[in-house]
Amino acid sequence: MTTSTLTESSAAAPTPARPARPQYKVTGRRVLRSEWAKLWSLRSTWITLGLGLLFLVGFGVIASAHYHSDFAAGRPMRRDDANATALSLSLFGTNFAQLALGVLGVLVSAGEYSTGMIRSTLAAVPRRLPVLWSKAAVFGLVALVVATVGVFVAFPVGSSLVSDTPAALSLSHEGVVRSLLGAGLYLGTVGVIGVALGALLRSVAGGIAVLVASLMLVPGLVSLLPTSWQDDISPYLPSNAGESMFALTHDATTLAPVAGGLVFLGWTVLALAGAAYRLVRTDA
């Protein structure tokens, strides 16, 4: 009787259920962490950010040293150097750094399309748009920090080289800190535009071509137009509006820093909107 009871009890005992696998929700923070990890896992990130920082500091120091050399030797100043300041000389490398950061932005987004990794990314984040916002936010922040560090390193060095020339300026001079912060913000936003163009065109070559054309080629073509047309168009081009963010002085042909920043922000929003539309409407 006892054996039978034990047997029935054993048979009636429920088998322990296997622990259920934890369910992971796709949240904004997790998408950001994913994009952060992907960004730093690429060798091109370290190389291109290093080049951007080198361009900012290196070309700024070279321009300042060249100006000082001409002044010390009594050579006549070139037209571009006649009104140069320690700030403009220190930020000479901005044009080169914007290419490095913009190209890396294109690689961050378009690179996934060229390798096919974007399909895995969108399978993990079916809503799609958080992927674009996270890429833009992560790389924009990284580019902003690198650029800001670069300009605040370039200016003290460049300023010390031209301290005994008419171009001398100190960090306490009115507008200098604002200009340096504006330069860092401009370069960080260029990185965001690069991400947007890469996602919009889904081609590394195409994204880089449009980036270079919009920042460097189009202003040159506009300069061939009649003067009255130039005055109406030139200040609102992306590169010219962005440069007004960190220019120390302004005239009737340029925008004020705030106005230039708003125009440049408008171009950035337009590029992101185009990328978002294509991401939602078409397959990867």
- Mean pLDDT in consecutive groups of 10 residues from the start of the chain, 284 residues: 46 52 69 91 92 94 89 73 84 94 94 87 86 95 96 94 87 92 96 96 94 91 84 90 90 87 96 95 80
Q: What pLDDT, in 10s, does the model give residues 189-246? A: 999 999 999 999 999 999 999 999 999 999 888 888 888 888 888 999 999 999 999 9
Q: What is the C-alpha to C-alpha distance for residues 12 and 15, in angstroms, rounded to an integer?
A: 9
Q: What pLDDT, in 10s, does the model give residues 18-40? A: 555 555 577 778 888 999 999 99
Return the pLDDT at 10.
Answer: 46
Return the pLDDT at 7.
Answer: 47
Q: What is the C-alpha to C-alpha distance for residues 39 and 60, in angstroms, rounded to an integer?
A: 28
Closest CA to 146 of 50, 39, 247, 34: 50
- Phi then psi dihedrals of residue 85, to 5 deg: -125, 170
- 236 secondary structure, DSSP code: G
Q: What is the dihedral of CA 213, 219, 222, 228, to 10 degrees?
A: 150
pTM of this prediction?
Answer: 0.87
- The 3-state secondary structure of 34-51 reads HHHHHHHCCHHHHHHHHH
Question: Burial level of 41, CB count in 10 A (0-12/13-18/19+)?
Answer: exposed
